Structure 1
């Protein structure tokens, strides 16, 4: 196999890490993840509502949570998701039923290069709104491409994986370009029609999409502990698919110790706390971040409440 084909195959595997599937071109013997685990998270005791799809594993309705005031975040208006480039035809029918008016793609160009453009129902085109991942995707790809366990341990071993993730979360707040992208999404949600929904996504639906959802829920008056549980739910939702990815990488001879990737695949309290510490250092509070960082005035914040809470 030529060096270029090896690079492309490795890139395809890396892009699949966050999606939770391994494309046939990379590891034909690895089955696609089942979506049957989705229903486990749709019990009557939890407002967490997954949208079961074949080509994505972390697609959720943000609604259903209770606020401090006793109201409920409305269903069917805001969705969070992972990559949408491998949706099947039945998936497109499911998405068409969500009445989406806008789809926002937080991925940077290298992610789209290997994972593909969004596959969406007719009439929908994703809005590119890249949020810098601090080079995490490229570093992960480079480490896997070496096929060298010593180099992989040097790059990701010990606390290095979690340190990389914390750097990503700090950059979500500290990079003005990232702040502008998040702000635009909040304005889109505030200004959306009650007859159409907004969906935002990144590659795995857990970090950039997770931060957006956490901040949105807090802005709507959802208790911190509830918003944090929603953020952490990606671990349970993605667990089986992520395990298959690690197994596949080992079987393919790309990694002797694929568990080095666990800190990159997971969300953790420490990651969210890193972002919140950066918020406090720069803006004093989450409310300060909403107003001074994202530039959301009282009128826009009120529109979010009116639009999404009832």
Structure 2
């Protein structure tokens, strides 16, 4: 049995129930509803995960406003924001993020009316920059070079390396920890966190959160792999366009970069196990978080059955 088949994706009706109803962010969904080992359930409408909000349209704004989001965390790098554009959150000014990529603290900007606050918190790995690899593959239309870059498992190796880096790099760990602290503060939720695809950095953040709250590992993978259902049609469209525009003869070479794979998340958890005796110790020594943060998460996110 393969790793992918061990972690089944839920039915489409459950997928629809988790959707935030934002056509401009197809991977925007609610973490509410997952059950913890002690029988408690994550509240709906408190912790939200998404792909980039740069594609939100005016048609999305009413649905977004109904979510009551107080804090948006953008995990994208400076280059990603420059290329794709800033979050289009209703009423939120565009922030100057040119100095934030390597800053110790996130850049936070609050809407003039005191509403939603946007936090730029880039998680950027120079050695595992998936977007640089994508640009290189598309800029050089040579199919031989594209296969040399991405073929024979190299694209997947790049992804597993990225997920290990999530755990081994102290700056990356500190930024994931910042998101968890935001979620734990009593006045903050609802909090929405996102990257570009809502898959890797967002996926690991969600995995950390669910694991800390005591959600079963199988449900953690279930949530992670939902990206493939939510974003599948968009990925197919993008890959088809790369082929029809003559950018790639084998666009499927990019699938390891575009799809969630259980092996990637397994690599991150394996790195945690290799560096710390338990997840609890990783929480304290790796992420620098304490029982107060965990208590805050439980108070904010968990309800009774």
TM-score by length of 1: 0.83
Which consecutive unaligned segments of at least 5 residues does structure 1 have? 1-39
Secondary structure at 2:54 match in 1: coil
- Residue 126 of structure 1 is matched in structure 2 by 118
Contact 1:47 1:65 in 2 (8 A): no
Q: Deviations over 1:221-264 (max 9, x none)?
A: 11111111111111111111101100001011111110000000
- Residue 278 of structure 1 is matched in structure 2 by 271
How much does 1:42 deviate?
Answer: 4.1
- Residue 155 of structure 2 is matched in structure 1 by 161
1:4-19 maps to which residues of 2 (within 5 A)? none
Secondary structure at 1:147 match in 2: coil
Change (3 A) 1:302 1:125: closer
Cα distance between partner residues in 2 of 1:205 and 1:248: 21
How much does 1:51 deviate?
Answer: 1.2
Q: 1:248 aligns with which of 223, 241, 251?
A: 241
Where in structure 1 do 4 or more consecutive aligned residues deviate above 3 Å? 40-43
Cα distance between partner residues in 1 of 2:271 and 2:156: 16
TM-score by length of 2: 0.85
Which structure's relative contact order is higher, taking Cα pairs within 8 Å and 6+ residues apart?
2
- Residue 79 of structure 2 is matched in structure 1 by 110
RMSD over aligned CA atoms reads 1.5
Whether 1:93 aligns to 2:62 is yes
Change (3 A) 1:48 1:224: farther
How much does 1:52 deviate?
Answer: 2.1
Secondary structure at 1:132 match in 2: coil
How much does 1:139 deviate?
Answer: 1.5
Cα distance between partner residues in 1 of 2:140 and 2:84: 20
How much does 1:125 deviate?
Answer: 4.6
Q: Deviations over 1:184-222 (max 9, x none)?
A: 11000000427x410000000011101111111111111
Q: 2:29 aligns with which of 46, 60, 69?
A: 60
Cα distance between partner residues in 2 of 1:293 and 1:218: 15
Cα distance between partner residues in 2 of 1:210 and 1:77: 17
1:76-225 maps to which residues of 2 (within 5 A)? 76-122=45-91, 123=111, 124-133=116-125, 134-193=128-187, 196-225=189-218
- State the aligned residue count: 268
How much does 1:41 deviate?
Answer: 3.5
Which consecutive unaligned segments of at least 5 residues does structure 2 have? 1-10, 92-110
